[in-house]
Structure 1
Amino acid sequence: MPTVKTIAFVEPSFYGVSFARVAYGQGHRVIAIVSSEDNPKKYGYEGIYHDLIVADIRDEQSLYQAITDSPYAGKLDALIPATDYASHLTAKVAERLGLRGVPYEAALKSRNKDLAREAYAEHGVPSAAFRKVTSFDEAAAAAAEIGYPVVLKPTNCASSQHVFFIHNEVELRKSFEAIVEFKVTYMDFKVREDYLIEQYLQGPEFSVELFLQQGEAIFAAVTEKLTTPLPYFVETFHTLPSPSYTERQDDIIRVAVEALKAIGLTDGPSHVEVKLTSSGPRIIEVNGRPGGDNISSDLLVLAFGVDVFEATVNYYLDQPVAIEKKHDRAASIAYVTAERDGVLERLEGIDDVLQHPKVIRSHVSAVPGDNVAKAKSSDDRLAYFIVAGDTPQEAKQLALTLLQQVKVVYRNQEAVIA
């Protein structure tokens, strides 16, 4: 019988629920450190944990004190961040407890896009020209220096929240007025009052799903991503492995690994977003955790039989990591979005699509009567479905064909998903 370990996860949510599920399935004692006792129900991990510890996950000392005051003081075998926002705090607490984890400075750079961009520049990693700004005047000067169009974004948020594509100073002023009013993001984390003006990178977008050991990639796969039309950047479609630009995938992976090393991430899982520009791959951002949007929980499993969450749990426990491909197929996920604001009457055709024999899993979050909006962040997506295929082209084409069969019908008017 394998030895039962005690593993604490800080605020399992979204992709992090898969961590709890894997550890629980391995027979380990799973402790969830949460900001509210309602979170297991809210995020969908009821029944796959053994105990809860309540703490302010936004505060390092609160996390540390909650653990040291609990029955698990000195008994944890691993402390794993299960949400992006607390990853750097979890890393610091793990260091204080003498547990294995991502170095605090690396986790901090991964969470803060300005620190990451500075590290890429210092180490010569291809990235976007950028300036950190705190005022409109600074933003206008930075945009003029970099050259329009530019991107304005927060330094410590996710899911395309308040990311603006800007053509001129008039648009910049309007967008800056909006971004400074954005004070609190997911899980009540404060939005920093430093912002980035970045060069707009043109080209197809990808993510690289990686697992490193001592700076070497023991697993790598490239995911093709489709996003909403500008001026927004919401991800609406993923295919793994990528069916496109396969001859450039080694370059894409190489630059992704360079970015990870630049910020100090040399071990464990990561999800690196890249654009393939006319001058080669350039880094959009690095995440020191498994990819979300069902890439790690579903697409990697369907395409390759790879469970990155199991590998990550074993890494944190300092146990052998096995992450080889078991088969070679492909999978796609398609998200339904509205093309304009309005009140939802129904998602026409969605039932037929979800009953298609090749749809593996699906979820519909929008219901009739909901106010729906043209997607400005991931929160605005209405539904998704996942398909598998023998090749990337087959999986992508099937998902696109099914997506075209779904229409967003508004009260008093109909619009077709393009």
Structure 2
Amino acid sequence: MKILVLGREEDSLDYLRYCESHGIEATFTEPPSLAGIDRDAWQEVLPALVAETTDLDSFDEIVSFRDGYQVHTDLLRRHRGWPTRDLDAVNCLTDKTLFKSHPAVRDFVAPYVELALAADPREALDQVEAELGFPVVLKPSNGFYSAGVVRVDRAEDFRKAFVSVKRVCGLLRDSRGPSQIIAERYLDGDEVMVDGFVVDGKVTCLLFHIKLPRLTGLPSFHETGCVTQPFDGVKGPEFQEMLERVIGGVGLDNSAFNAEFRYDGDGRLYILECAPRISGGGASVHNLLRICTGLDAYGIQHRCGREPVDLTPTRRSAALEYDFCAAKNGHLVRLEDTVALLRDLDADTILQYRENGQFVFAPPLNVETVLTAYFACETAQSAEELLDVVQHKCVIETTEQP
């Protein structure tokens, strides 16, 4: 089996391992941006551009784990005559402004305003004060991985935050296209995620994640830990009901989904985003679903929409995912020490994306992790206890000189 993966090989280490262990030949490519191309011409133009360097007819499947390439994936699959998802649904779920304004979604999102990148910070501040007040959260509309997401508590801090988010929008422009800045009312409750699949119109929630540390009072939004359990429909009917309305209303089908939610101080639940893909570059859901339920996320994705899939868990346990990012901008040093400590803690899987000597940004400017570790745990409580150990014993060190 030959699969074309839209994305960078270095970002898909887990999927590459999976393909190698299953006798699958994976080829990676980064397709051209659709920015500047008329929507009506996408279907004709994109396959022609990709075909200049890639023989599309030689592949048995085309996948991507990046938001920015989901539309590309379905355009190329449609070119091959394979089953595809609704293009409007995929486009909506990979663009925060389209998502928040969709009729099926807008009743479930926190109050927000859109700020043009070219806006004067003073004018943007006036708009935020008039329509939202403080505290607010600023984020790029084309962002992912919490890149550039910043909490602003006071008007005096707004200009600095606005310029910071604008910078991230610029960094993401080449890969994600043009964007706006979204300002939304800050929600001070816990943030959680749900992963699952929608197959033939049925929404099946499989994993429930609590994002840690809890971010109340912190200026940025970069959780490092994720405690995961199999989804419990009895305890989480509000998530199931909201996702059925959102996913069904938008029109997504035969697809993975990753939805993020946050509570406000009064306990009301809001949806932050719902991406039409396996989360964490594929690695997060693949490892967490395997540990917690025994299911094969990549295998399900390969079959979804083509043949029947069984989403029945074969076991139930908990897991911990921990993303390592640098505390300070700089060149990485002594990564091997961190990896050795993780092995001593019986990490199930360790994925190292960067090497010693490479320069990395610290949150909120980083758009990627340095390394990620996954742990099998008996309970959610034991996963939280392990998180405390990991975040205090294992650190990512940087220096100003390589």
Q: TM-score, normalised by structure 1?
A: 0.78
CA-CA distance at 1:398 after TM superposition: 2.1
Task: Quote the residue 1:159 is aligned against.
Answer: 145
Letter paired with 1:128: A
- Is 1:398 the equivalent of 2:386? yes
Give the distance between the partners of 2:332 and 2:64, measured in 1 at CA: 36
Q: Report deviation, 1:210.
A: 0.9
1:116-127 aligned at under 5 Å gives the runs 116-119=99-102, 121-123=103-105, 125-127=107-109
Following superposition, the deviation at residue 145 of structure 1 comes to: 1.1
Is the Cα–Cα contact under 8 Å of residues 151 and 219 in structure 2 kept in the other structure?
yes
374-383 vs 290-299, which deviates more?
374-383
Aligned mate of 2:29, from 30, 34, 37: 34
Query: 2:183 & 2:224 partners in 1: Cα distance?
Result: 24
Are 1:330 and 2:318 matched, yes or no?
yes
| Corresponding position of 2:221 | 233
Q: Superposition pairs for residues 19-418 of structure 1, below 5 Å?
A: 22=18, 26-27=22-23, 30=25, 32=27, 34-35=29-30, 55-56=31-32, 58=34, 60=42, 63-66=46-49, 72=55, 77-119=60-102, 121-123=103-105, 125-134=107-116, 135=119, 136=121, 137-138=123-124, 140-182=126-168, 184-185=170-171, 188-227=174-213, 229=215, 230-241=218-229, 248-277=235-264, 278-292=266-280, 294-316=283-305, 318-339=306-327, 350=338, 353-356=341-344, 358-363=346-351, 374-379=362-367, 381-406=369-394
Displacement of 1:292 in angstroms is 0.6
Q: Distance in 2 between matches of 1:198 and 1:403?
A: 30
> Contact conserved, 1:234 with 1:378, CA < 8 A, in 2?
no
CA spacing shift, 1:13–1:105, aligned 2, 3 Å: farther
Is the CA contact (8 Å cut-off) linking 1:157 and 1:191 kept in structure 2? Answer: no
Unaligned ranges ≥5, structure 1: 36-54, 413-418
Residue 92 of structure 1 deviates from its aligned partner by: 2.9
Instruction: Give % identity.
Output: 19
Determine helix, strand or coil for the equivalent of 2:246: helix
Amino acid at match of 2:29: V
- 2:325 and 2:194 map into 1 onto residues whose CA distance is 24
Q: Which is worse superposed, 322-331 or 290-299?
A: 290-299
Taking a change above 3 Å as real, the CA distance of residues 377 and 143 of structure 1, as seen in their structure-2 partners, is same
Shift of residue 150, structure 1, vs aligned partner? 0.9
1:381 Cα deviation after fit? 4.9
Kindly indicate whether the alpha-carbon contact (under 8 Å) linking 2:285 and 2:297 is maintained by their aligned counterparts in 1: yes
- CA distance in 2 between partners of 1:371 and 1:17 (Å): 20
Q: In structure 2, list runs of 5 or more residues that go unmatched.
A: 36-41
Against the structure 1 CA distance between its residues 373 and 179, is the aligned structure 2 distance closer, same or farther, given a 3 Å change threshold?
closer
Contact 1:276/1:282, CA 8 A, preserved across alignment: yes
Aligned residue number for residue 38 of structure 2: none
* Paired residue secondary structure (2:236): helix
RMSD: 3.6
1:268 is displaced (CA, Å) by: 1.6
Cα deviation code 1:200-235 (max 9, x no counterpart):
122111110111113322342211111475211112
For structure 1, which segment, 180-189 or 168-177, has the greater mean C-alpha deviation from structure 2 after superposition?
Answer: 180-189
Counterpart CA distance in 2 for 1:203 and 1:330 is 23
- CA deviation profile, 1:15-70 (whole Å, cap 9, x unmatched): 75555655665555x463513xxxxxxxxxxxxxxxxxxx5355755540155567
Q: Kindly provide the amino acid, as one letter, of the partner of residue 133 in structure 1.
A: L
